[in-house]
Amino acid sequence: MRHRGGYQLRGGWHLPLPADEPLSGEPVLPGSRLESLRRWRALLPRRFSLRVALPAARVLQRSLPAPAAQLQEPHREAFLLTQAARLFPLDRDALVFDYRTPPGQPQQVVVTAAHRQELAAWLARLQGTGLQPDAVDIAPCALHYIGALANVPPDALMLHHLPQGWLWVTPRTLPFQYGMAGSAEHAAAVQAALPEPLQSRPCFFSSALPEPVPEGMQGWAPFSRLPGALPAETVPGAFVLAAGLAVRPEDRE
């Protein structure tokens, strides 16, 4: 919630998916998990804003040169989506698209595509429990949002460890790129496998798992600018992406 001087953290909840729940295809959530979401909805205020992040592994993304400034909406959107559709491996009707101009890079447009059927299935499950998302974003962007708020240097690479693998995102001063590495990899091996310009960047590390900061990397405090308290005995890094969604720049106005 907003308060004088910024945002205040009012609570946190962790409702993990079953260990064998895949991150691809239509969700198959057991009734007990759906019931947990219904109970969680009952704890929330009557009015609230819900944002959802799609896993990095389930979205496609391409960068395009920005169209001429005189091209206005809706012609700008139609032009970008036509150009982007030629770059993705699936039929245009099987995807949903979004696009944005990266901060400080007006000459580029980043187009993101998600599988229409998967997105519709997840939204239907949420709506069935009384949850209606106001925005659907992607995990790499959420990591950037909270990193910027927590004063992670704009020239730093960000590496976040999830149970499903390692998520990396380029520094905010570079063209926006991200990727996933397998869960069996080590942090140093993930960074060493990145393109050459990224290997020498300072790396800021966070993790959803209880583990120390790897040697040669730097930890950071995701909630340093969000006063409030998380549930006891939780790993702060498990809430990094949720915190990023909560402070989306597009929703702060």
Specify the pTM. Answer: 0.85
Determine the Cα–Cα distance for residues 80 and 90; give it in Å rounded to an integer.
Answer: 16
pLDDT number for residue 115: 87
Beta partners for residue 161, in sequence order: 166, 207
pLDDT number for residue 213: 96
- Say how many C-beta atoms besides its own lie within 10 A of residue 187's C-beta: 21
pLDDT number for residue 151: 94
Beta partners for residue 219, in sequence order: 205
pLDDT number for residue 50: 93
DSSP string, 78-125: HHHHHHHHTTSSS-GGGEEEEEEPPTT-TTEEEEEEEEHHHHHHHHHH
pLDDT number for residue 86: 82
pLDDT number for residue 27: 60
Full pLDDT tens readout for the chain, 253 residues? 877 777 888 888 887 766 555 545 556 666 778 888 999 999 998 888 999 998 888 888 888 888 888 888 888 888 888 887 787 777 778 888 888 776 667 888 888 888 888 888 889 889 999 999 999 888 999 999 999 999 999 999 999 999 889 999 999 988 888 999 988 889 999 999 998 889 999 999 999 999 999 999 999 998 888 888 787 778 889 999 999 999 888 665 4
Angle at the Cα of 202 (from 61 to 182), degrees rounded to 5? 50
CB 138 within 8 A of CB 53: yes
